[in-house]
Structure 1
Amino acid sequence: MQSPVINELIDAFKLLPTIGPKSAQRLAYFLLQNHQQDGHRLASAIESALEKVGYCQQCRNLSETEICGFCASKSRQTDQLCIVETPTDVVAIEQSGIYKGQYFVLMGHLSPIDGIGPDELGLPILRDRLAQGEIQELILATNPTVEGEATAHYIQQMAIEFNISVTRLAQGIPLGGELEYIDSGTLGQAFAGRKAV
């Protein structure tokens, strides 16, 4: 019979996304067998992050300070606001090196079935920010899912109230993609979003 403490550790690992029972078991035994120092380091890092990291009061991104580095930066364009669903979306956009504006992180998308409405996404905070008049362009970078599209539409309507230009990230065929391997939904988006050359 397996130790209740080990079972608790395995169950804790299963709380993480994409970690199933086997992976959780492997991780638990990996740390307990020969890597206890790494386990202590991991536990310390998790505890520290949970204590110190909160949300930026302006954009809702993860931050150790009340105002995150993106919002506090004087080198970023303050008239562009990119709306994303998660902090990892911010990371992906930043890694591209293309965008130099501000962000607003929804921490999800509208999902009435799950009880996630405008308030849970911080949309009253976004409305207040739009009302300040500094934002000239709102870039919708929500995921191309039904919920993401519904969320984008809701936010677009908010922006229209303040006469703010709204753009949406292009969707379609990825660079280097071959048509025969593209799903019909993506191909449909590519045709709908085509532009003159």
Structure 2
Amino acid sequence: MKNDSDLLNELINALTILPGVGIKSAQRMAFNILEKNRDKAKNLSDLLRLATEQIRNCNQCRNLTEQSICNICSDEKRDSNMLCIVENPSDVLAIENSGTFKGKYFVLMGRLSPIDGLGPDELGIPKLIEQITNSNIKEIIVATSPTVEGDATSFYIRDQIKREVKVTRIAYGVPMGGELEYVDNTTLGRAIQGRREIKE
């Protein structure tokens, strides 16, 4: 059943563009905004407008930034010999939050999926290969998702690299504190395949 207000219905429908937000969640959000948070909603509206106008892709790594070159690419303290290839800007954030990688990135903005119209050109792979060819990169870490498309993307990238460089794939496996009996078969299989030697 629709509401009497066409504008309210448009707001609800607009909120459903967010990932994981269905019509019921969108209704709750819309009513919450209008009943309790109008001032904060105006601030959110202003920030959304500014973000869509000013945030763009970095000219080097394709991550989201307000500058032509992002802070990571312009940071001379980062290890330019290591390049981590990820699918999305959120992956960069996740790896940065882990504090374990100090190299540079390349963001594909997706993974190979012909059905969705995502081929090498849409993912910027020709630009990536050109960067690798014209650089001193010694190791490429492919951090695409553990899916059929993610694997296909990693193999495609590896096959396009024409110079000697170490290409690795991040390991996927059992989470810290996880019990083996609750881990799905695919994850457990990858954990066994990605095993490492225990050293003293």
Letter paired with 2:167: V
Answering whether residue 178 of structure 2 is matched by residue 172 of structure 1, we say: no
Larger mean CA deviation between 24-33 and 84-93 belongs to 24-33
Supply the distance in 1 between the matched residues of 2:44 and 2:135 (Cα, whole angstroms).
44
Q: Does the residue aligned with 2:79 lie in a helix, a strand or coil?
A: coil
Partner in structure 1 of residue 189 of structure 2: 188
- Aligned-residue offset at 1:2: 2.2
Q: Distance in 1 between matches of 2:157 and 2:21?
A: 33
Look up the equivalent residue of 1:27 and give its one-letter code.
M
CA drift of 1:170 comes to 1.0
Provide the residue aligned with 2:18 in structure 1.
16
Q: Which ranges of 4 or more aligned residues in structure 1 deviate by more than 6 Å?
A: none
* Matches for 1:23-34 after TM superposition, within 5 Å: 23-34=25-36
The separation in 2 between residues aligned to 1:42 and 1:132, in whole angstroms, is 42
Query: Of 93, 96, 112, which aligns to 1:110?
Result: 112
Shift of residue 124, structure 1, vs aligned partner: 1.1
Q: CA deviation at 1:34?
A: 2.4
SS of the equivalent of 2:109 reads: coil
In the other structure, the counterpart of 2:38 is 36
Scaled by the length of structure 2, the TM-score of the pair is 0.95
Question: 1:181 Cα deviation (Å)?
Answer: 0.6
Segments of structure 1 that go 5 or more residues without pairing to the other structure are none
Q: Deviations over 1:25-67 (max 9, x none)?
A: 1111111112110110010000000000000010000010110
Q: Which amino acid aligns with 2:98?
A: S
Partner of 2:99: 97
Cα distance between partner residues in 1 of 2:147 and 2:73: 28
Partner SS state of residue 33, structure 2: helix
Separation in 2 of the partners of 1:28 and 1:133? 50
Could you say which residue in structure 2 is the equivalent of 1:163?
164
Structure 2 match to 1:58: 60
**Residue correspondences, number:** 196
**RMSD across aligned C-alpha pairs, in angstroms?**
0.9
Point out where structure 2 has 5 or more consecutive residues left out of the alignment.
none
